[in-house]
């Protein structure tokens, strides 16, 4: 796969993910630090089934729900893949796309990806904690594999703030790794996800090390829990629009 370069440098913007091939990766929790930022596009493509399909679909959903004179938020934007999809989705409507992430390394590299894109819609990247960011006048908000890294007891308040900031007719795109209510289904879907990773070149050792690192910081929940919380937060309708193994995306809507 060709690797995009910074227009001011010949250096590639990302590298192949080899973080968990090194014994130095053992023993610590997963963090969105400089090492992860350097390999993130490769890591997420090889780790999240269907990711390269899901991102352009976010653009299509944005195209349907974006409203003139509003903001479109990408909360936990990492390097800005969803931000750029939303940017193209707004088309010629007068919307500003705001990407927010609390990792300075992600935001720094994200600016380079934004600079490589020539769509005229304005984009702002903010290095902030989304739990404390100001949200207002939103027509589309994306939480793309972000909520799962927030403590469960803090999730209702965040979703409530998003719902209150969302204009009538607006939408929230919530993508998450989930757990299943039946033990057999959880085991099967986890095994299939690991098979997907092996097919993308990860070794059993890499899979095991990353799982150990991430299981304390990524806390998945069931679709039922997500659906009920979104309705409690103030959204009127919730639909499952995407699933690939144990990765899903929900669309939560405010009535016009």
Residue 234 has pLDDT above 90, yes or no: yes
Tens-digit pLDDT profile for residues 99-145: 999 999 999 999 999 999 999 999 999 999 999 999 999 999 999 99
Q: Please tell me the predicted confidence (pLDDT) of residue 2.
A: 40
In this predicted structure, the answer to whether residue 4 has a pLDDT above a threshold of 60 is: no
Residue 222 φ/ψ region, left for φ over 0, alpha for ψ in the -120 to 50 degree band, beta for the rest: beta
In the structure, what pLDDT confidence band is assigned to residue 7 with cuts at 50, 70 and 90?
A: very low
Measured distance between the N- and C-terminal CA atoms of the chain, rounded to whole angstroms? 43
Q: What pLDDT, on the 0 to 100 scale, is given for residue 5?
A: 45
Q: Counting every residue, how long is the chain?
A: 256
pLDDT of residue 184: 98
Token readout for 141 is: 């908000």
Query: Taken in order 206, 49, 218, 114, is the CA torsion positive or negative?
Result: positive
Nearby residues of 23 by Cβ (< 8 Å), 6 or more positions away: none
Compute the distance between CA of residue 240 and CA of residue 250 in angstroms, rounded to an integer.
5
pLDDT of residue 32: 73
CB contact at 8 A, 168 and 112: no
- Give the tens place of pLDDT for each residue, 29-79: 667 778 888 888 888 999 999 999 999 999 999 999 999 999 999 999 999
Residue with tokens 């934004």: 114
Rounded Cα–Cα distance for residues 49 and 51 (Å): 6
Confidence tier at 9 by pLDDT (50, 70, 90): very low
Count CB-CB contacts under 10 A for residue 56.
13
Give the 3-state DSSP-derived string for the chain, with helices as H, strands as E and coil as C: CCCCECCCCCCECCCCCCHHHCHHHCCCCCCCCHHHHHHHHHHHHHHCCCHHHHHHHHHHHHHHHCCCCCEEEEECCCCCHHHHHHHHHCCCCCCEEEEEECCHHHHHHHHHHHHHCCCCCCEEEEECCCCCCCCCCEEEEEEECCHHHCCHHHHHHHHHHHHHHEEEEEEEEEEEEECCCCHHHHHHHHHHHHHHHHHCCCCHHHHHHHHHHHCCCCCCECHHHHHHHHHHHCCCEEEEEEEECCEEEEEEECCC
Residue 183 has pLDDT above 80, yes or no: yes
Task: Name residue 242's beta-bridge partners.
Answer: 249
- Rounded Cα distance between 176 and 241, Å, is 12
pLDDT attached to residue 28? 61
Summary mean pLDDT of the chain: 91
Q: What pLDDT, on the 0 to 100 scale, is given for residue 26?
A: 53
Q: What span, in angstroms and rounded, lies between the C-alpha atoms of 197 and 247?
A: 13
């Amino acid at each position: 796969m060709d690797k995009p370069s910074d227009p001011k440098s010949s250096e590639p913007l990302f590298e192949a993910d080899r973080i968990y091939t090194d014994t130095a990766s053992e023993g610590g929790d997963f963090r969105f630090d400089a090492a992860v930022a350097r390999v993130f596009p490769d890591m997420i493509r090889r780790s999240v089934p269907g990711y390269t399909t899901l991102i352009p679909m976010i653009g299509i959903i944005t195209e349907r729900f974006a409203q003139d004179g509003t903001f479109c938020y990408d909360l936990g934007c990492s390097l800005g893949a969803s931000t750029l999809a939303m940017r193209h989705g707004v088309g010629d409507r007068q919307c500003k796309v705001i990407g927010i992430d609390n990792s300075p390394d992600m935001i720094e590299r994200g600016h380079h990806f934004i600079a490589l894109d020539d769509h005229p819609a304005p984009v702002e990247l903010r290095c902030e904690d989304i739990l404390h960011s100001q949200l207002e006048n939103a027509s589309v908000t994306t939480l793309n594999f972000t909520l799962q890294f927030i403590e469960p007891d803090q999730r209702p308040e965040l979703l409530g703030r998003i719902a209150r900031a969302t204009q009538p007719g607006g939408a929230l795109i919530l993508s998450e790794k989930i757990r299943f209510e039946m033990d057999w289904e959880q085991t099967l879907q986890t095994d299939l996800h690991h098979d997907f990773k092996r097919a993308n070149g990860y070794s059993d050792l890499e899979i095991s090390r990353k799982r150990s690192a991430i299981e304390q910081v990524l806390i998945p929940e069931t679709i039922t829990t997500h659906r009920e919380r979104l309705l409690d937060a103030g959204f009127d309708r919730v639909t499952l629009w995407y699933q690939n193994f144990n990765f899903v995306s929900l669309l939560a809507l405010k009535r016009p």
